[in-house]
Structure 1
Amino acid sequence: MNIFIIWFLVILGIGMLRFFLKKRFAIDREEQAGIPVRRFERWSGTVMVSVVILLILFSERPPEQLFSWIFFVFLAVNAGQVFLEWKFLKKSRKYQMSIVYFAVMALALFVFIATVSWQIG
């Protein structure tokens, strides 16, 4: 039961981090200025969810390998998103926010995978 409370607090903290970073890097003002910030977020989310669903549906591997593949997909898609934001949103600081946010998310996902692997194995 304690592990659920800890993960709930981690998820809540990550949500607060995203809110704080949006305010810190003034992403809301960039959206009002006409910079297409949300388009990259939607693209990244759609690709990631689609690939993870396909992995879950067609994977016959043990959970540890499945989580490792999900971690790899997460890193690859988000690295692509940060690169595209850096390349195409020249006037935006969105890519800086994405780098910080996805580094924290990757660390949290890595800890989650390590925890699941430790409890299963």
Structure 2
Amino acid sequence: MDYFWVLVILFIVIFGWEFVLRKWLGVDKGSLAETPAKKINQWVSGIMIVLVLCIVPFMLLEEDSRFIWFLIVVFIASNLFQAFLEWKYLKSRRQYLVTLLHLPVTISILIFIAFWYF
């Protein structure tokens, strides 16, 4: 039960950090669905999901902790791609700054969880 509360606190920290970043930078939340990047984002997200679903069964068969590191790498790749699209298509909203500044904190928390559980 203690693990549950630690995870709840970590998720509150993640979402709280994003809220603080948005207020501090004065950035409104924008959506890529309103831009020509909608199709690109959908295609790349779909390809990444298919790749993850194809690789996950093989990763789960092994006894070591490479699975969590694989998920962290996928998370980094998807967030960097998201930041690129936000920079390219939502440059005036500066939302890419929130995504890029939010990434290290989230990755640190994921690495903390990886070392804590595995």
TM-score (normalizing by structure 1):
0.69
Higher mean Cα deviation, 49-58 or 94-103? 49-58
**Post-superposition shift, 1:84?**
2.3
Map of 2:12 onto structure 1: 12
Give the direction of change, closer, same or farther, for the CA distance of 1:104–1:65 in structure 2 (3 Å limit): same
Give the direction of change, closer, same or farther, for the CA distance of 1:49–1:12 in structure 2 (3 Å limit): farther
Map of 2:78 onto structure 1: 77
**Structure 1 residues 53-112: Cα deviation after superposition (integer angstroms, max 9, x where no partner):** 444345333350111111111111111222222233221211111111111111111111
What pairs up with 1:1-121 in 2 under 5 angstroms?
A: 1-28=1-28, 31=30, 36=35, 43=42, 46-47=45-46, 50=49, 51-59=51-59, 60-117=61-118
Runs of at least 5 residues in structure 1 that lack an aligned partner in the other structure: none
**What CA distance in whole angstroms lies between the structure 1 residues aligned with 2:84 and 2:53?**
24
**What CA distance in whole angstroms lies between the structure 2 residues aligned with 1:14 and 1:5?**
14
**What CA distance in whole angstroms lies between the structure 2 residues aligned with 1:11 and 1:99?**
18
**What CA distance in whole angstroms lies between the structure 1 residues aligned with 2:47 and 2:13?**
22
**Post-superposition shift, 1:52?**
4.2
**Post-superposition shift, 1:48?**
9.0
TM-score (normalizing by structure 2):
0.71
Q: Which amino acid aligns with 1:4?
A: F
**What CA distance in whole angstroms lies between the structure 2 residues aligned with 1:105 and 1:48?**
23
Task: Provide the identity percentage.
Answer: 23
RMSD, aligned α-carbons: 3.3
Runs of at least 5 residues in structure 2 that lack an aligned partner in the other structure: none
**What CA distance in whole angstroms lies between the structure 2 residues aligned with 1:48 and 1:72?**
15
**What CA distance in whole angstroms lies between the structure 1 residues aligned with 2:48 and 2:11?**
18
Higher mean Cα deviation, 90-99 or 19-28? 19-28
